[in-house]
Structure 1
């Protein structure tokens, strides 16, 4: 039997996560550390074992792992309203900042502003390079998973576009199922969520209906709003490994069709490193820049909601079945392989278009190298590195 926990209120959940949304810099791994300190050690909302198991589940699923963990913590504490409060409070601060940046970025047309945007793009290169290295150490620790990552690079390079990325993830999942199986039959059963199987089935059906129905809607009526809904939902549904992995998917979704320029895309991604909270709020910036009906605020809200929606629906679908799924060695092997493939995809996008489209000379190279060393050796926070490289970029025109 699961241990009894004191029920909380949505207001309590909102206040706790709002403070984290204002102060949680450092990316998804750092966010999970903040959550553990706040909700396991200080507030004691759940046990260490339950928290570790919840994190493992969210790492298995597509979507932003830290936001999924926060959503589940809110659900456990105060039901559906608590889940909504947790997501909104943790996401809102960075979403507002990214939307404001989108509204002000168009005014940065002077040489100083252009240099600032160049510095933000260089910061994006440094942050992604650091993320690739860190993820490779964690997700490709052996020869088999390193080979899967290399195969993913080959698939993305040869096929290209969103189809190549999807093919690489599927190839990685199949390779992991065959090569990375381990036994976890001894894992003890737990019950961490008050959610019925019927609710889980409904969430899964809704997620699949959107995944299939939105492309059909685009085919029937290629209006700007329907294409935008499909693009951001599909990007959120295919992300494994955290916010950085959304970069190639979003780049394919908004840059290749010509909705957002490569320069504006990379500048926004660089700015996203300087704000707290989930990196997925980069979608709010993109939605405000696209603004199909000349309504940036509505565009930001729609893009933000659609990119988070599939990951949260899949989490709701998986929670009632987690005790059984976590024992399947084939499932765990598939996720290991998919995560290794993600490293390969991110490595490919680091080269093209990030490096080839941004680092054009020795000054740019020096700034990227400075950011990489600050992140990897000096352990500087990402927001500080972004500010330093933005200042350096502002000096480039001189």
Structure 2
């Protein structure tokens, strides 16, 4: 049974764990899932690889930032609602605060970050994702059939790149699992200790839809830029599938034509978001702090940050109670064997595009990624040490080569 020590059950301890991740998790959402797996499956043993893959699968089905939602669910399982909030705050606030300060002009040297150091952070993401693929494949694809399903999923996602393709691949793998695996032979799993009742879950889901439908109506009735901001960012957080990068065109349509943020500032802020650890959705904090109008600065940044993440909280709280019970069904467990194989395939596809293709340009890049991989897998160095060393190495290579 995968259990943590009793002190890990407090919301404060959950916050401290996720704060460290929020300060060191570079590389984007796919890399974040690799960090989470290393921290909570391998190191702290809060849950098994199979349960972690199930949780990743659920969050990929939901709109919003999958890695942040996985963190919320892990916090919820450790310390209830307070744990979910603590996990989100620890993982999100470091990058959000940095971006708000950047927007206010106090960090005006953001454009001068050494490009070599930035490239080193991209390279280490290759090692982090490769470590996650290696470990999950060994546990979740132990035979030829599941390896084949993993390969098919990888090829489908790479050849037809789309968020809908990812969802379709997961659904198809689940259907295949129903026919290819015998439910009676499916081993048990370690359930997340979710204490939310199905009735409470239904209320959270109802609140999600009430806000999604009601905010546009209220914003139309009342001439308030604050309500318009809440509506725009809540709707974006509710409708984005496929990760943080997908929100770029949606937010651009919302804030640039309205004159809230100039297009040049929008693109500069999005570039700065790539330079900080944590979730890409913290870009909302930058936009809120940069707003033209009555709500900007710290207040505007926090409003937009809370608005874009609110749907994720409501969906995680609303769906998990039903998901936990559904997973106990034998046929669902059989489907999950196929789905978990597809999840590994999606991660393998992401290892190539965009992680590998945006980082490995020359032999020195490959050598740095290989050393980082060995440091993580075999030398067992802490991820933040490898990230820091890779950033320094990237800067040194840019100076020397």
TM-score, normalised via structure 2 length? 0.67
Superposed CA RMSD in Å reads 4.2
1:200-230 deviations in Å (ceiling 9; x for gaps): 33344556x489969x99xx9xx88656434
- Cα distance change of structure 1 residues 120 and 21 upon mapping to structure 2, 3 Å threshold: same
Q: SS where residue 380 of structure 2 aligns?
A: coil
Q: 1:100 aligns with which of 93, 97, 100?
A: 97
Partner residue of 1:388?
Answer: 389
CA distance in 2, matches of 1:292, 1:160: 33
CA distance in 2, matches of 1:134, 1:262: 35
CA distance in 2, matches of 1:92, 1:333: 35
Question: Does residue 311 of structure 2 align to residue 306 of structure 1?
Answer: yes
Q: SS where residue 396 of structure 1 aligns?
A: helix
Partner residue of 1:337?
Answer: 338
Partner residue of 1:90?
Answer: 87
CA distance in 1, matches of 2:272, 2:373: 20
Partner residue of 2:11?
Answer: 14
Question: Does residue 39 of structure 2 align to residue 30 of structure 1?
Answer: yes
Deviation at 1:144, TM superposition (A): 2.0
> Contact 1:153–1:345 (CA<8 Å) still a contact in 2?
yes
Question: Structure 2 stretches of 5 or more lacking a match?
Answer: 1-8, 25-34, 60-65, 221-227, 253-265, 292-299
Partner residue of 1:369?
Answer: 370
Which segment is superposed worse, 192-201 or 251-260? 251-260
- Cα distance change of structure 1 residues 290 and 126 upon mapping to structure 2, 3 Å threshold: farther
Q: SS where residue 357 of structure 2 aligns?
A: helix
The residue correspondences of 1:9-158 to structure 2 (distance < 5 A) are 13-22=10-19, 26-31=35-40, 58=55, 61-62=58-59, 64-65=69-70, 67-75=72-80, 83=81, 85-102=82-99, 103-104=101-102, 107-110=109-112, 113-158=114-159
> Contact 1:228–1:303 (CA<8 Å) still a contact in 2?
yes
Q: SS where residue 27 of structure 1 aligns?
A: helix
> Contact 1:150–1:344 (CA<8 Å) still a contact in 2?
yes
1:169-221 deviations in Å (ceiling 9; x for gaps): 11121122222342279979x996665443233344556x489969x99xx9x
Deviation at 1:57, TM superposition (A): 7.6
CA distance in 2, matches of 1:342, 1:57: 9
Q: SS where residue 128 of structure 1 aligns?
A: helix
CA distance in 1, matches of 2:192, 2:88: 27
CA distance in 2, matches of 1:211, 1:372: 44
> Contact 2:127–2:372 (CA<8 Å) still a contact in 1?
yes
Partner residue of 2:256?
Answer: none
Partner residue of 1:44?
Answer: none
Partner residue of 1:354?
Answer: 355
Q: SS where residue 381 of structure 2 aligns?
A: coil
Question: Structure 1 stretches of 5 or more lacking a match?
Answer: 1-11, 38-47, 76-82, 239-247, 273-280
> Contact 1:199–1:317 (CA<8 Å) still a contact in 2?
no
Deviation at 1:97, TM superposition (A): 1.4
Deviation at 1:387, TM superposition (A): 0.5
Partner residue of 1:79?
Answer: none
Q: 1:254 aligns with which of 245, 248, 253?
A: 248
> Contact 2:372–2:386 (CA<8 Å) still a contact in 1?
yes
The residue correspondences of 1:282-301 to structure 2 (distance < 5 A) are 282-291=279-288, 294=291, 295-301=300-306
CA distance in 1, matches of 2:187, 2:145: 25
> Contact 2:124–2:390 (CA<8 Å) still a contact in 1?
yes
1:260-283 deviations in Å (ceiling 9; x for gaps): 689948844xx53xxxxxxxx514
Deviation at 1:386, TM superposition (A): 0.8
Deviation at 1:168, TM superposition (A): 1.3
> Contact 2:126–2:356 (CA<8 Å) still a contact in 1?
yes
CA distance in 2, matches of 1:140, 1:262: 40
Deviation at 1:287, TM superposition (A): 2.5
- Cα distance change of structure 1 residues 284 and 318 upon mapping to structure 2, 3 Å threshold: same
CA distance in 2, matches of 1:36, 1:344: 23
Partner residue of 1:6?
Answer: none
